[in-house]
Amino acid sequence: MTVLKSEIRRGAYADSIILMQLQSELKRLPGVLDAGVVMATPTNLDLLRASDLLPSAVADQAGGDDLVVVVRAETAAAAEEALEQVDALMQRKGAVATGDFRPHSLAAAIKLRPDANWTLISAPGRWAAQIAREALELGRHLFIYSDNVEIEEEIALKRDAAEKGLLVMGPDCGTALINGIGFGFANRVRRGPVGLVCAAGTGLQAIASRVHELGAGISQAIGTGGRDLSADVGGRTARQGLDLLARDPGTQVLVLASKPPEKKVAAQLLAAALEIEKPVVVSFSGWSAPAPQIGNLYFARGLTEAADLAVELAGREQDQRPLVRQRPALTGLVRGLFAGGTLALEAVQGLSPFLAPLYSNLTAPGVAKVPGTTPSRGHTILDLGADELTVGRLHPMLDPQLRLQRLRQEMADPEVSLVLLDVVLGRGTHSDPASELAPAIAECLQRDDLEVVVVLVGTEEDPQNLDSTQEQLVTAGATVYRTVSAAIDHIVPRAIPAVSPLACPVTLEIFEDPVVAINIGLEGFYTDLLDQQVEAVQVDWRPPAGGNEKLVSILERMKS
């Protein structure tokens, strides 16, 4: 037979880390079988109930601003002894060696340290947005570790920060490195030329640690919070981070990494990254890399490869590959007419992250399926060798008539800016495909606003004569590449919409001034700052009105 004893502490408050540590300490006491130490919010009470640690008196009497301690022990004496040790354990967990004065509000902390440029917030999510709004009004950059912040609050905070030229990392941001100072769960890494923008905390840590292992270092590492690349938030912090690192003289190579991003947001960020005059390594989890390289963008298949590639690029004196985005922009649609199904699929996969909407008679993630027998719509890539198009007719590698017909249809569409074709040489195919395609290409290019790009596959040993085929196509006016990847590199930087400059960019003072921080919430973040020789102030924060929701609601109405 076990004994369950509890204690309600009215209006008491302690941060969640201290409470979890206290709970672990209680469980280690002699005779104690289980323990729960929580603020009495409905969610926390449900957790106690699920663990069979919720006495009826606690369920009936505890409010959200109360601290609840529950102990299950082998005997009543063991339970009582455990409860008697709570004060001593809490004092030990909450003690700070410095013994410094602690203001009770953010405003008071800033009066104490008017040079503070950062506010770190790890208070409960219910209050984090309110604290963050006050910090923005006072002109401070934010690192918000707190989770459970409403997404509407995150959108509003990041919108307001962007208008003020301030940076908001988070909510739910676990890691950042600013001027060599770690925020949150940062690893100790050397300074160096690689800058990170990450919507994944452990991803940031993995890349930074690998860069350090390879002997390089991190200039700055900006965490965005896990929801930043969602459709609702729209990558606001990621865009600011890219802009900052693009201008930072200490950053030579950028890395953009995220958990699976929303497609439209990813496309917008990639468009912004293409405007940067530095190499940018991209690693999106669960996202097929469209090509090894497009312009200044390098695509990695994982975090380790992203770090390896960034270090390699930082070690190069100069990337000699020209940035094709310097060519004139494409103002219209892209249409692809392929004889080779695998080549068509590679084009679909390479273009789909950037062109929207993209249609195809092939199946691929994020691509709308259309029958190849219907007219093209939007950006369209077709495999003209698909089964439904070869019933009763020869494959287009043998007979180009279907492709010639579709080519003239695309030419007649005034919204089309570029047509992408493949020409595949070799035994068993058309003996001279260029003789059929070149006149049609020349006819298409009578339109000044139309461009034809050809992917030519073959060798100098093929019977069609590779050099002669290329010469005919070029003479007709086509731009010829030997790989789909190179053709994608030609198209993408010119086809995606140009990005508008940020209305109020964050100034580089964010990287030039020493970090001076105000910490609100987790004690451990404050002590970590002190360990890094950072001038910091810990706010002795308590929920307004003791956390009483009714009183808080009245106070908010009075303020408004």
Domains and CATH numbers, the chain: 3-94 (3.30.70), 106-315 (3.40.50.261), 330-495 (3.40.50.261)
Q: Which residue has the tokens 């923008």?
A: 197
pLDDT at 321: 47
| Residue range 218-238, pLDDT digits in tens | 999 999 999 999 999 999 999
What is the SS3 assignment for 125? Answer: helix
pLDDT at 98: 40
Tokens 């912004």 sit on residue: 272
In this predicted structure, what is the pLDDT of residue 330?
84
Phi, psi dihedrals of residue 267, rounded to the nearest 5°: -60, -40
- In this structure, of 133-142, 181-190, 215-224, 547-556, the range with the lowest mean pLDDT score is 547-556
Q: Are 367 and 359 in contact (CB under 8 A)?
A: yes
3-state secondary structure 447-466: CCCCEEEEEEECCCCCCCCH
Q: Is the pLDDT of residue 322 over 50?
A: no
pTM of the model: 0.81
Percent above pLDDT 90 for the chain: 60
- Bridge partners of 280, per DSSP, are 254, 297
Give the C-alpha separation, 560 to 557, whole Å.
5
C-alpha angle 36-39-44 in degrees, rounded to nearest 5: 65
Gap between the Cα atoms of 118 and 167, Å rounded:
10
Residue 160 scores a pLDDT above 80: yes
Q: Which of 237, 216, 217, 215 is nearest to 226 (CA)?
A: 237
The residues with which 368 forms a beta bridge, in sequence order, are 359
